């Protein structure tokens, strides 16, 4: 594991190699989270990922190290992505892909993916964008509650209660389609 606080400090001091290490370490992870935020639009996720690293470089002096570098970077990327999405699509956050995600897969897709993944993806697509984002940050990206609270700029208790509700909603959606031992 890299010491992202030390690398950020070195980058702030003008060490471009340190910043390059941060980009290399976090770019795939950030891209994956932004891909989920924009509901699968790969071009938009790539654009937002690139913009996030440019903005982070320009604002390295604002990284104080109270959270992980990734949490700070994700918050920068998320806030900018939401701003840009609202300008491009004032009524929704890339919801055009939700309709497609909620439909049944083709027979070939069903063969390619296991049944559990198909059901979970369909259920996740039916969740609201903020609820889906919360679950992805915790379950997919593995952020702890404090980092999620920092990334989303909400109190820790709010994260815990919303996650409990989100998990219950997901469990309820999946109740009739998969066995209980598959739902953790």
For the chain, what percent of residues have pLDDT higher than 90? 29
Amino acid 34: pLDDT: 87
C-alpha distances (whole Å) from 13 to each of 22, 50, 94, 173 are: 14, 22, 38, 50
Domain that holds residue 120: 102-184
pLDDT digits (tens, 9 = 90+) for 126-143: 888 888 888 888 887 788
Percent of the chain residues topping a pLDDT of 70: 78
Q: How far is CA 152 from CA 74, 80, 113, 121, 136, in A?
A: 9, 13, 31, 23, 12
Domain CATH number, residue 28: 1.10.1740.10
- Whether residues 138 and 172 share a domain: the answer is yes
Query: What is the domain count for the chain?
Result: 2
Residues 61 and 7 in one domain: yes
Determine the average pLDDT of the residues in 87-112: 48
Residue 176 three-state SS? coil
Residue 151: pLDDT above 80?
yes
Contact 80, 48 (CB under 8 A): yes
As a whole number, mean pLDDT of residues 17-29 equals: 93
Q: Considering the chain, what is the average pLDDT of its residues?
A: 80
- Domain shared by 147 and 91, yes or no: no
99 pLDDT above the threshold of 70: no
pLDDT at 176 over 70: yes
Q: Identify the domain boundary among 95, 124, 158.
A: 95
Between residues 149 and 183, which one has the greater pLDDT? Answer: 149
User: Alpha-carbon distance 33 to 26, whole Å?
Assistant: 11
47 shares a domain with 22: yes
CB within 8 Å of 84: residues ≥ 6 apart? 48
Same domain for 177 and 134:
yes
Q: What is the mean pLDDT of residues 66-89?
A: 82
At residue 22, the pLDDT reads 93
pTM of the model: 0.61
- Assess whether 106 and 172 both reside in one domain: yes
Of the candidates 95, 120, 142, which is a domain's last residue? 95
pLDDT of residue 15: 92
Q: Which CATH number is 116's domain given?
A: 1.10.10.10
Among 95, 124, 145, the domain-final residue is 95
Tell me how far apart the alpha carbons of residues 138 and 58 are, in angstroms, rounded to a whole number.
Answer: 28
DSSP calls for 111-155: HHS-HHHHHHHHHHHHS-HHHHHHHIIIIIS---HHHHHHHHT--
Is the pLDDT at 93 greater than 80? The verdict is no
- Same domain flag for 3 and 91: yes
Domain identity same for 50 and 1: yes
Q: Are residues 164 and 123 in the same domain?
A: yes
């Amino acid at each position: 594991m890299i010491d992202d606080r030390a690398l950020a400090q070195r980058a702030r001091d003008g060490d471009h190699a340190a910043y390059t290490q941060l980009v290399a370490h976090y770019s795939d992870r950030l891209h994956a989270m932004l891909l989920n935020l924009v509901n699968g639009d790969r071009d938009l996720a790539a654009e937002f990922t690139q913009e996030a690293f440019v903005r982070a470089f320009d604002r390295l002096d604002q990284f104080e190290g109270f959270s992980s570098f990734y949490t700070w970077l994700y918050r920068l990327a998320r806030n900018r992505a939401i701003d840009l999405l609202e300008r491009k699509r004032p009524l929704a956050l890339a919801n055009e892909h939700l309709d497609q995600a909620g439909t049944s897969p083709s027979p070939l897709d069903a063969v390619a993916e296991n049944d559990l993944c198909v059901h979970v993806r369909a259920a996740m697509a039916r969740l609201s964008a903020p609820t889906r984002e919360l679950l992805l940050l915790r379950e997919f990206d593995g952020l702890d509650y404090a980092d999620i609270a920092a990334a989303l700029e909400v109190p820790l208790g709010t994260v815990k209660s919303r996650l409990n509700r989100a998990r219950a909603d997901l469990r309820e959606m999946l109740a009739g389609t998969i066995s209980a031992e598959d739902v953790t």
